[in-house]
C-alpha cells in the first residue's frame, strides 16, 4: 500500500523504517489524513509477519511541530456545530473526538511489535506524545533538537497521553515543570529525565534506532508490565506529600488561576498516577474535553496559534505584488534601536549598511551587535563562526551614497520631526526609484513625516519594540498616501526577520502605545485615589498582566511619558490630558529627577545588583493612601483590563485597526495583555459585548467618563454582535 504522507522501507533484518514526509509542507504536522494513514500503518505492521520492529522518523530537517492549524480549528468548529444540532450530545461527541489520537497512540504501543522514534529536530506537542508512545526514543545529539509539550501556552494541555506518560517516565516534579511551563528540553536534558533513551550523531540516528531494536527492545511499555512503580514512589509517599501542596501553590502564584489548562495538567497527573494507565488516559480525555469548551482555550488558540501564524504568513499582504527578496537593507541611525534592527536583520542572513552621522557613531552601533553576539556565543546559542558570519553582514558607514542599491531603508534616528526630516531628504537623494523608506517611530504620525518625502506612496512606518532582538511584534503603519507596494515590501521584510506584523492606520501612538498608556494612566488614577502602590502592581499581575503599570512606566521612562503628555497638550489642547496626571509626572521628573530605570529611580528604586528593585517609599507621601481593604481587588483588575480593551475598541471604531486578529495579537505580543483572554477584543467577545458595556457603564459611574462605552460598542451590544463577527477577518477572502 502507498501512503501520501509516509514511506515504509523494510530491510533484510525485518526492520521497517517509517518516514514521515508530508508533500508541499515545510514541516510535518498532524492532520486527520495523517492520523488515518498512521492508523493504517500500525495495522499493516501487525499484519506483516516479516516486520520485526519499526523505526519512526521524519524525512524533513525537523521532526514535527504537532497539530495542524486546520485540525485545531476543526475541533472548535466541530463542537460549535454539534451544539447547534443537539446540545445534549455535543459534549459526548467532543469527548469521543478528543480520544481519537490517544486511541491510535495506545494502539501503537500495545500492537505487540517494538517501535523506536528517531527524533531528528524539533519535536513538539502531539509529535512528542507519539514518540512517548514508542517503546524506544533516540534523539539527534545537536542543538537544533528541541523537545517540548508546549500546549499550555495556547490554552490547552498535552491531551494525547502526555500527562500520563511523562510522569510515568520521570519524577512528578520535573513532569509538572515541563508541562505547566511548556518549556523546551535539550536532547541531553530529555535523556537525563528519562524521556529519551539514547543520543546519537545525526548521521547515525537511524542506525542507533535499529540497533536498539536488534538488541531486543521489548514491545511493552513500563506501565504495562506487572509490578511497575511510578518514579519517585507515586502519590502516597512522604515526598509527594510535600510536592503536591507546593506545586498547587506555585501554580497559583504564577498564574493566579487564570489558566484552566495549566490547572488541568496538575489534576491529570495527580489523579492519573493513582489509577491504571488506561484509566489515566480516560481522566486526561475528560479534562481535555472540558478545557476545549472554555473561553480561555478558544481565545488563546485563536490568537496565539491560528491568528499569529496567519499574520506571520502574510494574511494582510496585498495580493498581486511579487514577493521582495532583500540583497541588502539600509538602516539609518546607529543608536540603540537602529543598531538592534541591524542585528536582527543580519541574524536573518541579510546584509545591512548601518549609517550614522560619522564613522565613530556607526561603528559604535555595530559594537552593539558585537556585544549581543558575544553574549550568545558565551551562552552556547551561537558558535563563534556563526557570530563572525553575522557581524560580517553589518557594514558601518557615514556615507548616504552606500544606500543607493538597497530595496528598503529603515530610519531609526531620534524622535524629532526636524531630525527625521533631514534624514528623509538625505536618503531620498540617493535612494533607487523603486526603493521603500520606512520610519521606525513610536510617537510621530507617519502621514506627517511623509510630507517631507517626495514619494509618499513609498513611505511607511515600521515600529519595532525594545529590545528588538527579543520582541516578536512589529507595527507596520500606513500613512494616508502609503501604497500597496510599500506595504508588501514592509511585510516581506518583517517576515524575513521572523517577526509578527500587525498593520495599523496612522494615528498618534498607533495601536500598541495607545493601549499601553491607557494601562499606565489608570495606575496614575489609582495612585491619586490613594490605592497603595503595591496593591496597584499586584492587582495588575493578578489580572494577567506580566508587568505592573508602574514598573512598565519605569521601563519606558517617566520623562518619555512627560514628553508625550506635553505633546498631546500642544497638539490637542489642555483637555486632552488629565491635569492631575501632568502634576504627578512633573513632580516626579522636574522636582525629584525620578525618570525611571534609566537613572536608577522612578516609581521604583534600583539599587546596585544583586539587590532587587523595590517600590519607592516616597510614593505614599505624594497622595494620601487608604488602607488596602478599602479597595476591591476584583474591581481593580477589571479597571485595568477594561480600560485597555476600551482603547482597542476605539481604534477599531476609528479605523486605525481593521482586523480583530491584529488587535488581539498586537496586544499580547506588544505589551503582554492578559494572554489567557486571547487579547483585547477577544476579552470583550469572551464575556459578550453586552456584558462588557454593562461593566464599563458601572466603572464609568464610579471612576470617570473614560470608561464610557463607545457608540460602536453600544450598537454591537444592542445587535448581539461580536468583533470577530462584525469585523470578520475572513469575509473578504471568502468573498474573493
pLDDT (tens digit per residue) in 267-302:
999 999 999 999 999 999 999 999 999 999 999 999
Name the percent of the chain lying above pLDDT 70.
99
For all residues of the chain together, what is the average pLDDT? 94
Quickly count: other Cβ atoms within 10 Å of residue 736's Cβ: 6
Segment 155-184 shows an average pLDDT of 95
pLDDT at 407 over 50: yes
Q: How many CB atoms lie within 10 A of CB 196?
A: 26
Q: Which residue has the higher pLDDT, 265 or 236?
A: 265
Strands (E), 37-178: 53-58, 115-119, 123-124, 136-140, 147-148
Q: Of 62, 65, 92, whose CA–CA distance to 79 is shortest? A: 92
Per residue in 74-87, pLDDT (tens digit) is 888 888 888 889 98
pTM of the model: 0.92
Q: Looking at residues 32-44, what average pLDDT do you find?
A: 96
CATH fold for domain 6-293: 2-enoyl-CoA Hydratase; Chain A, domain 1 (3.90.226)
Is residue 374's pLDDT more than 80? yes
pLDDT of residue 733: 58
Instruction: Assign 380 a pLDDT band (cuts: 50, 70, 90).
Output: confident
pLDDT per residue as tens digits for the range 486-521? 999 999 999 999 999 999 999 888 899 999 999 999
CA atoms of 621 and 591, how far apart (whole Å): 14
**Residue 398, burial from CB neighbour count under 10 angstroms (0-12, 13-18, 19+):** middle
Task: Please report, for the chain, the start and end positions of each structural domain, with discontinuous segments joined by +.
Answer: 6-293, 329-509, 513-726
Cβ proximity of 256 and 544 under 8 Å:
yes
Q: Is the pLDDT of residue 592 over 50?
A: yes
Q: Residue 194 pLDDT more than 70?
A: yes
Give the mean pLDDT of 125-150.
95
CATH 1.10.1040.50 fits 513-726, yes or no: yes
Tell me: cis bond preceding 598? Omega within 30 of 0 counts.
no
Per CATH, domain 329-509 is 3.40.50.720 = yes
pLDDT greater at residue 144 or residue 500: 500
Local confidence band at 736 (pLDDT 50, 70, 90 cut-offs): very low
Per-residue pLDDT band at 24 (split at 50, 70, 90):
confident
Percentage of the chain exceeding pLDDT 90: 86
CB atoms within 10 A of CB 250: 14
Q: Which residues are catalytic?
A: 463
Amino acid at each position: 500500500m502507498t501512503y501520501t504522507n509516509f514511506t515504509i522501507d523494510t530491510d533484510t533484518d525485518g526492520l521497517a523504517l517509517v518516514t514521515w514526509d508530508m508533500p508541499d509542507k515545510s514541516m510535518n504536522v498532524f492532520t486527520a489524513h495523517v492520523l488515518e494513514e498512521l492508523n493504517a500503518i500500525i495495522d499493516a505492521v501487525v499484519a506483516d509477519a516479516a516486520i520485526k520492529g519499526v523505526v519512526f522518523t521524519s524525512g524533513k530537517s525537523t521532526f514535527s511541530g504537532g497539530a495542524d492549524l486546520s485540525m485545531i480549528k476543526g475541533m472548535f468548529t466541530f463542537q460549535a456545530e454539534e451544539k447547534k444540532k443537539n446540545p445534549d450530545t455535543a459534549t459526548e461527541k467532543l469527548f469521543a473526538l478528543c480520544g481519537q489520537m490517544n486511541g491510535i497512540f495506545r494502539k501503537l504501543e500495545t500492537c505487540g511489535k517494538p517501535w523506536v522514534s528517531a527524533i531528528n529536530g524539533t519535536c513538539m506537542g502531539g509529535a512528542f506524545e507519539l514518540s512517548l508512545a514508542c517503546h524506544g526514543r533516540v534523539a539527534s545529539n545537536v542543538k537544533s533538537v528541541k523537545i517540548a509539550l508546549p500546549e499550555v501556552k495556547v490554552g490547552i494541555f498535552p491531551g494525547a497521553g502526555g500527562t500520563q506518560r511523562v510522569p510515568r517516565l520521570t519524577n512528578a516534579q520535573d513532569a509538572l515543570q515541563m508541562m505547566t511551563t511548556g518549556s523546551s528540553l535539550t536532547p541531553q536534558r530529555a535523556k537525563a529525565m528519562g524521556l529519551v533513551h539514547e543520543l546519537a550523531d545525526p548521521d547515525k540516528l537511524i542506525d542507533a534506532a535499529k540497533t536498539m531494536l536488534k538488541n531486543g527492545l521489548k514491545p511493552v511499555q513500563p506501565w504495562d508490565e506487572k509490578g511497575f512503580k511510578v518514579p519517585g514512589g507515586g502519590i502516597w509517599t512522604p515526598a509527594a506529600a510535600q510536592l503536591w501542596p507546593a506545586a498547587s501553590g506555585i501554580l497559583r502564584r504564577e498564574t493566579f488561576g487564570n489558566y484552566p489548562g495549566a490547572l488541568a495538567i496538575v489534576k491529570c497527573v495527580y489523579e492519573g498516577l493513582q489509577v491504571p494507565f488506561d484509566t489515566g488516559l480516560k481522566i486526561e480525555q475528560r479534562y481535555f474535553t472540558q478545557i476545549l469548551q472554555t473561553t480561555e482555550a478558544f481565545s488563546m488558540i485563536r490568537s496565539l496559534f491560528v491568528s499569529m501564524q496567519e499574520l506571520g504568513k502574510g494574511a494582510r499582504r496585498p495580493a498581486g505584488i511579487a514577493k521582495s527578496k532583500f540583497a541588502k537593507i539600509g538602516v539609518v541611525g546607529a543608536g540603540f534601536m537602529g543598531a538592534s534592527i541591524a542585528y536582527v536583520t543580519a541574524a536573518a542572513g541579510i546584509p545591512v549598511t548601518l549609517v550614522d552621522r560619522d564613522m565613530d557613531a556607526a561603528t559604535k552601533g555595530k559594537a552593539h551587535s558585537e556585544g549581543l553576539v558575544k553574549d550568545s556565543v558565551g551562552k552556547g546559542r551561537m558558535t563563534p563562526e556563526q557570530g563572525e558570519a553575522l557581524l560580517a553582514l553589518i557594514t558601518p558607514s557615514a556615507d548616504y551614497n552606500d544606500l543607493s542599491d538597497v530595496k528598503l531603508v529603515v530610519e531609526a534616528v531620534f524622535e524629532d520631526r526636524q531630525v527625521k526630516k533631514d534624514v528623509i531628504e538625505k536618503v531620498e537623494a540617493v535612494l533607487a526609484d523603486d526603493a521603500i523608506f520606512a520610519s521606525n517611530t513610536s510617537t510621530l504620525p507617519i502621514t506627517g513625516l511623509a510630507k517631507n518625502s517626495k514619494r509618499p506612496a513609498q513611505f511607511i512606518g515600521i515600529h519595532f519594540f525594545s529590545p528588538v532582538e527579543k520582541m516578536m511584534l512589529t507595527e507596520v503603519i500606513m500613512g494616508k498616501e502609503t501604497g500597496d507596494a510599500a506595504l508588501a515590501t514592509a511585510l516581506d521584510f518583517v517576515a524575513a526577520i521572523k517577526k509578527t506584523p500587525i498593520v495599523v492606520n496612522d494615528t498618534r501612538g498607533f495601536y500598541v502605545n495607545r493601549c499601553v498608556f491607557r494601562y499606565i494612566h489608570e495606575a496614575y488614577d489609582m495612585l491619586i485615589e490613594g490605592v497603595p502602590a503595591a496593591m496597584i502592581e499586584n492587582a495588575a499581575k493578578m489580572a494577567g498582566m506580566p508587568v505592573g503599570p508602574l514598573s512598565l512606566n519605569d521601563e519606558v521612562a517617566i520623562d518619555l511619558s512627560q514628553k508625550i503628555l506635553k505633546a498631546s497638550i500642544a497638539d490637542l489642547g489642555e483637555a486632552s490630558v488629565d491635569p492631575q496626571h501632568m502634576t504627578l509626572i512633573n513632580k516626579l521628573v522636574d522636582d525629584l529627577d525620578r525618570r525611571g530605570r534609566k537613572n536608577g529611580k522612578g516609581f521604583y528604586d534600583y539599587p546596585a545588583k544583586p539587590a532587587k528593585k523595590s517600590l519607592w517609599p516616597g510614593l505614599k507621601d505624594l497622595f494620601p493612601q487608604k488602607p488596602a481593604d478599602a479597595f476591591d481587588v476584583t474591581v481593580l483588575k477589571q479597571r485595568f483590563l477594561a480600560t485597555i480593551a476600551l482603547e482597542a475598541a476605539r481604534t477599531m471604531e476609528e479605523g486605525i485597526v481593521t482586523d480583530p486578529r491584529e488587535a488581539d495579537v498586537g496586544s499580547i505580543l506588544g505589551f503582554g495583555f492578559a494572554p489567557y483572554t486571547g487579547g483585547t477584543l477577544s476579552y470583550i467577545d469572551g464575556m459578550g459585548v453586552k456584558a462588557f458595556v454593562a461593566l464599563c457603564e458601572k466603572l464609568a459611574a464610579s471612576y470617570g467618563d473614560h470608561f464610557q462605552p463607545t457608540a460602536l460598542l453600544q450598537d454591537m451590544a444592542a445587535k448581539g454582535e461580536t468583533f470577530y463577527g462584525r469585523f470578520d477577518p475572513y469575509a473578504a477572502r471568502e468573498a474573493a
